[in-house]
Structure 1
Amino acid sequence: MKAIVFDGIGSPRDVLYLDDIPVPQIGDNEVLVRMVSASINPGDFLFIENLYPEPKKPLFPRQVAGNHGAGIVERVGANVALQPGTLVAFSYYNSWAEYAAVPAEWLIPLPADYPLERAGQMVNPITAWDLLDDSRVQPGQWLAVTAGYSSVSTMVMQFAQRRGINVLSVVRRAHDGLDLRTLGAAAVLDLSNLKAGVRETVLDMTGGTRLSGIVDNVGGPVSGELIRSLALGGQMVINGGMSAERYELHNFDVLLSGLEIRANIYRYFFSPPVEADGPILRKIVDVFGQPDFHVPVGGLHPLASFKLAVASSLDRTDLGKQIFAM
């Protein structure tokens, strides 16, 4: 089968290559999935660069790249209840390939007619749902979301809009091709066009109301200013670090406002879904699959076009999610 693999740690631009490798064998409690789509995510690049903690480490030679995707159940091992022909999504390993062997407990069954470009990126709506929950922002309050054009951020906005939460989308530069207000943003803070400081601009755009929460995918000095724009008891949830810059805080910036800063770890990073997750997963799958839930897709690529797909994912996040379509 065709697969995108790597033999050493490094930039995904440098170490990935397309190869023919054997179709994986399955054992008890495992499923052979014929892949139909797989998303390209920042976390996939962290895996390739060996920046994840144990046990999420590559194994050489010919480690298959990709951690998220969707496919059709081709074969099942002993003790597996899923039937061949079932469409499933997963977050595990080895998704940038024509086939993947996945323990059945990691699989999320989907409706047979689910849009395949959405099925391959279920990691994103699940993450967005959890980020919004973790922010603890209530209807009528304000939530700032950085990296406003990123896939996860646009999903946070749409989930927030459905809950009556006001979203301030923070972007480096506004793009004419996509108005984030159509995706649930109540206001867009364009950092390239500031007429005053970040805190002053936030207060002006929110009608004098301080932020109740922040979902931050960037970091850097702007994040520090957003933290100082939080209301009493506000919360910042860190989901990424696109900026190489740091921000500074004094203890009193946190202490005197009763703030909390916490990290978001994808709920299925270390462990698979459990039975109790079923109702919330079905709700996320349902909302994410609705036609009025906007999911920007930057490109659908065959595995052979991995160089273009990776470069587009790294350089043009404003285009939308890049997807491998098998």
Structure 2
Amino acid sequence: MKAIVFDKIGLPAEVLQLRDIPVPDIKDNEVLVRTVSASINPGDFLFIQNLYPAPKRPVFPQQIAGNHGAGIIEKTGKNVSLPVGTYVAFSYYNTWAEYVAVPAEWLMVLPAGYPIERAGQFMNAISAWDLLHDSGVQSGQWLALTAGNSSISMMVSQFAKNKGVHVISIVRKMNKTIDLKTAGASAVINLSDLQVNIREQIMEITGNKGLNGIIDNVGGPITGELIRSTAFGAKVIINGGMSPEKFELHNFDVLLNGIEIKSHVYRYFFTPPKKEDVSMLEEIAAVSGQAGFQAPIGGTHALEDFITAINESIHHPGSGKHVFNISDLHS
């Protein structure tokens, strides 16, 4: 089978290679999944550079890249109850390959009609759901999202709109192919065209109420300005760090405004789905699988096109999610 692999730590464009390797054997508790779709995410690059905490570390030689994907069960171990032919998503290892051996406990069953272009990034939908919940923002309140053009921010925005939450989507520049307001945003702040400081803009948009929550995927000075634009008791969720710059705060910026700042580690990073998660996962699939739900795709790629896919993901993250389309759903 074809797979994208690496034999040493380094920058993705420098260490990744496409190789023909054996189809993996499966154990009694595992399934063999024929990969249909696998997304390319910032976390994949952290894994390749060995920046994730243990146990999510590469194992050499010939570590297969990729952490999230979806496909069809082709073969099952003797202790697996799911039948061959089941459509599943998973967050595990080795997803940038034609076949993946996955412990059955890590699988999430998808409805038969779930769109392929969203299946490979189902973990983003789960993260968006969790980010909105963790922000604590309630119906009628205001939530700010940085990296507004990103797939995960757009998913948060749409989940938020369903719950009556007002979203301010913040972008470094507008993407002409994406209409953020049809994807749930009440307002959009384009930093490249901002005429006043961002706090003034936010207070004008919110009627001087301020932000009740922030989900920050970027970092840099803008994060500090957003925190100084909050209502009392707001929560700040740090979900990424696309900017190389730092933000600055005084203790009183946090203390006198009752600010809570926390990090977000995506669900199932360390442990597999629980039985009690099934109804939640079904609800996420039902909402994100609707015809009008937007999860923009910046490009679909064969495994052979991995250099382009990687470079586009790194250098043009605002263009939409890049995914590997590896096989046909019904083949």
| 3-state SS of 2:243 partner | coil
2:182 aligns to what SS in structure 1? helix
Equivalent-residue separation in structure 2 for 1:53 and 1:36 (angstroms): 28
The aligned amino acid for 1:123 is M
Q: Distance in 1 between matches of 2:179 and 2:291?
A: 18
Paired amino acid for 1:297: I
SS for the counterpart of 1:79 is: coil
Q: Could you tell me how far apart the structure 2 residues matched to 1:321 and 1:175 are? A: 13
1:261-280 matches, cutoff 5 A: 261-280=261-280
Measure, in 2, the Cα distance between the counterparts of 1:175 and 1:116. 23
**1:58 alignment partner, SS class:** coil
Q: Which moved more, 1:61-70 or 1:115-124?
A: 115-124
| Aligned-partner Cα distance in 1 for 2:318–2:253 | 32
Give me the whole-angstrom Cα distance separating, in 2, the residues matched to 1:55 and 1:191: 38
**Which residue identity lines up with residue 197 of structure 1 in the other structure?**
N
Q: Which runs of 5+ in 2 are unaligned?
A: 327-331
Q: Which residue of 2 aligns with 1:230?
A: 230
Find out whether 1:290 has 2:279 as its counterpart.
no
Per-residue deviation, 1:116: 1.3
Q: Mapping of 1:1-326 within 5 angstroms? A: 1-326=1-326
CA RMSD in angstroms, aligned pairs only? 0.8
Q: In structure 2, how many angstroms separate the alpha carbons of the residues matched to 1:239 and 1:256?
A: 24
Cα distance in structure 2, aligned partners of 1:48 and 1:10:
7
Instruction: State how far apart, in whole Å, the 2-side matches of 1:135 and 1:267 are.
Output: 15
* % identical aligned pairs: 61
Q: Which moved more, 1:251-260 or 1:110-119?
A: 110-119
Q: 3-state DSSP class of the match of 2:47?
A: helix
Is the 8 Å Cα contact of residues 238 and 261 (structure 2) preserved in structure 1?
yes
For residues 271 and 225 of structure 1, the distance between their equivalents in structure 2, rounded to whole angstroms, comes to 35
Residue 106 (structure 1) shift: 0.1
Contact 2:114–2:285 at 8 Å: present in 1 too?
A: no
3-state DSSP class of the match of 1:183? coil
Aligned amino acid, residue 155 of structure 2: M
- What 5-or-longer segments of structure 1 have no aligned partner? none
TM-score (structure 1 length as normaliser): 0.99
Aligned residues: 326
Provide the TM-score with structure 2 as the length reference.
Answer: 0.97
- SS of 2:282's equivalent in the other structure is helix
> How far apart are residue 176 of structure 1 and its match?
2.5
More displaced 10-residue stretch of structure 1: 172-181 or 134-143: 172-181
Aligned-pair distance for 1:193?
Answer: 1.4
Give the Å deviation of 1:179: 2.1
Q: Secondary structure at the match of 1:252?
A: helix
Deviation at 1:122, TM superposition (A): 0.7
- More displaced stretch, 148-157 vs 173-182: 173-182
**Offset of residue 196 of structure 1:** 1.5
Secondary structure of the structure 2 residue equivalent to 1:159: helix
4+ runs deviating over 2 angstroms: none
